[in-house]
Structures are given as structure tokens and as C-alpha cells.
């Protein structure tokens, strides 16, 4: 089981690195156990694979969070554009 934790740990590290660059990260991480068994070479999802049965529900949660954050950012941008203010710089790199 420990051999599969590397991707999870690297995703957490990547999240903190992207936050330093001013990126907005959604709270959830989608882990696909046994990815070579779940997704074939053509990109099709194998729904009969017993590993990771709740993958669909977890993917729906991830998409819900992504849509929520993107809509919130869009609304905030509209507020700034309507007021005539320039969007604030979130990070010196941007």
C-alpha cells in the first residue's frame, strides 16, 4: 500500500507550490487507485473494475468544487470590471 502514496504526497506538495505562484487550488484531490486498471489506453473508464468503486462520486465532487471556484472568480472579476478598478496582483510573479 505504501508504494501508491507517492502520488498523493507529491500532489500535496504541488498544491503548496502552486499556491506560492498565486494559483487558486480547489480543496479536493482526485486519486485514482490502480489507474492502469481503471483507464485503458484509449482513455475509457472501466466501470467494472472493483478498485476505486466510488471514483464517479469523487469525480463529481471535484467538478462541483471546480465549478464553484470558477464561478466565484468570474463574479469577482465582474465586480472589479464594473467598478472600473484594475484587478489586484496576487503575486509579484504575475
Return the pLDDT at 1. Answer: 47
Q: Is residue 55 part of a domain?
A: yes
Query: What does the pLDDT look like over 56-79, one tens digit per residue?
Result: 788 888 899 999 989 998 998 888
- Please give the Cα distance from 45 to 47 (Å, whole number): 6
Q: Is residue 92 part of a domain?
A: no
Query: What does the pLDDT look like over 31-46, one tens digit per residue?
Result: 777 777 778 888 887 7
Q: Is residue 64 part of a domain?
A: yes
Residue 17 has pLDDT above 50, yes or no: yes
- Please give the Cα distance from 20 to 14 (Å, whole number): 10
Q: Is residue 63 part of a domain?
A: yes
Q: Is residue 32 part of a domain?
A: yes
What is the model's pTM? 0.66
Average pLDDT of every residue of the chain: 78
- Please give the Cα distance from 90 to 94 (Å, whole number): 7
Report residue 70: phi and psi, to 5°: -65, -40
Written as nine digits, the cell of 23 is: 494559483
Q: Is residue 56 part of a domain?
A: yes
| Host domain of residue 75 | 27-83
Q: Is residue 38 part of a domain?
A: yes
> Based on the structure, what is the number of domains in the chain?
1
Q: Are residues 61 and 67 in contact, defined by beta-carbon separation less than 8 angstroms?
A: no
Amino acid at each position: 500500500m505504501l508504494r501508491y502514496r507517492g502520488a498523493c504526497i507529491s500532489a500535496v506538495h504541488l498544491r503548496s507550490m502552486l499556491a506560492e505562484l498565486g494559483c487558486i487550488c480547489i480543496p479536493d484531490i482526485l486519486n485514482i487507485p490502480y489507474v492502469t486498471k481503471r483507464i485503458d489506453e484509449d482513455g475509457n473508464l472501466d466501470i467494472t473494475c472493483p478498485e476505486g468503486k466510488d471514483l464517479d462520486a469523487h469525480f463529481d465532487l471535484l467538478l462541483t468544487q471546480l465549478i464553484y471556484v470558477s464561478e466565484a472568480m468570474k463574479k469577482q472579476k465582474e465586480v472589479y470590471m464594473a467598478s472600473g478598478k484594475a484587478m489586484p496582483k496576487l503575486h509579484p510573479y504575475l
